[in-house]
Chains A and B, each alone.
Chain A
Amino acid sequence: MPRLRFLLPLLLGCLPAAQATSVIAPDFENLVARTDYTVRVEVVAVSSSWRENPEDPAQRYIGTSVELRVLEVITGQPPSPLILEVMGGQVGPDVMTVEGAPVFRVGEESILFVQGNGRQVVPLTAMMHGFYPVRRDARTGEARVLRCNGKLVYSEHDVMLPLGATSGVVMRNPRAKPLTAADFTARIRHTAAALAEREAPELLH
Chain B
Amino acid sequence: MKPLSSSTKRLRFAALAVVLLSLTGGGWAFVFVLNSNTGLPIKWPAGTVQLHIMLGSDRELSDGSTFNSSAAAAAESWNTVLGSVRLVPIQTSGNAAQRNGRNDLVFATTVYGQQFGENTVAVATGFSQGNERIESDIIFNSARTWDSYRGPTRSGVQDIRRVTLHEIGHLLGLDHPDEAGQNVAAVMNSRISNLDALSEDDITGGQSLYGPPGVPPNDAFANATSITLADGRLTVNGHNTNATKEPGEPNHGANPGGSSVWWRWTAPEQGTMTVETRGSYYDTTLGVYIGSTVSSLTTIASNDDINPGIIQASSVSFTAIRNTTYHIGIDGWDRDTGGITLTLNFAPSATAIPVILSPPASVVALQGGNATFAVTADGAGPLNFQWSFNNSDIIGATNAVYTLSGVSNANAGQYRVTVSNPFGSVTSNPATLTVTIPAPPPITGGGGGGGGGGGSPSVWFLGALLAAALGRLLQIRLRRA
Contacts and interface: CB of A to CB of B under 8 A. Distances in A.
Interface of A: 17-26, 34, 46, 48, 53-56, 59-61, 64, 66, 86-90, 93-105, 108, 115-116, 119-122, 124-129, 131, 133, 148-151, 162-165
Contacts of A128: 7, 179, 190
Contact of A97 (B125, B153, B189): B125
A90 B190 contact: no
B179 to A, nearest CB: 4
A97 B4 contact: yes
Interface residues of B, number: 61
Interface of B: 1-9, 11, 15, 33, 35, 42, 97-100, 110-130, 153, 155, 162-163, 166-167, 170, 175-184, 189-193
Closest 9 A/B residue pairs (Cβ): A103-B6, A164-B178, A148-B7, A95-B3, A126-B119, A90-B3, A164-B183, A97-B5, A21-B166
A66 B4 CA distance: 13
Chain A interface, DSSP helix/strand/loop, else mixed: loop
A64 B4 contact: yes
Given A98-B124, A120-B117, 17 more contacts: A20-B192, A21-B190, A21-B191, A46-B1, A59-B100, A87-B111, A88-B5, A90-B4, A93-B130, A96-B3, A99-B124, A103-B4, A105-B1, A125-B117, A133-B8, A148-B8, A162-B178
Given A87-B111, A87-B112, A149 B119 contact: no
A162 B125 contact: no
Contacts of B8: 102-105, 108, 133, 148
Contact of A149 (B114, B130, B178): B178
18 contacts: A17-B155, A53-B98, A59-B100, A61-B112, A90-B4, A93-B129, A97-B33, A98-B124, A100-B5, A100-B190, A102-B6, A103-B8, A104-B6, A104-B8, A108-B8, A121-B114, A121-B123, A149-B180
Nearest to B135: A96
Contact of B191 (A18, A87, A149): A18
A97 B128 contact: yes
Contacts of A96: 3, 125-127
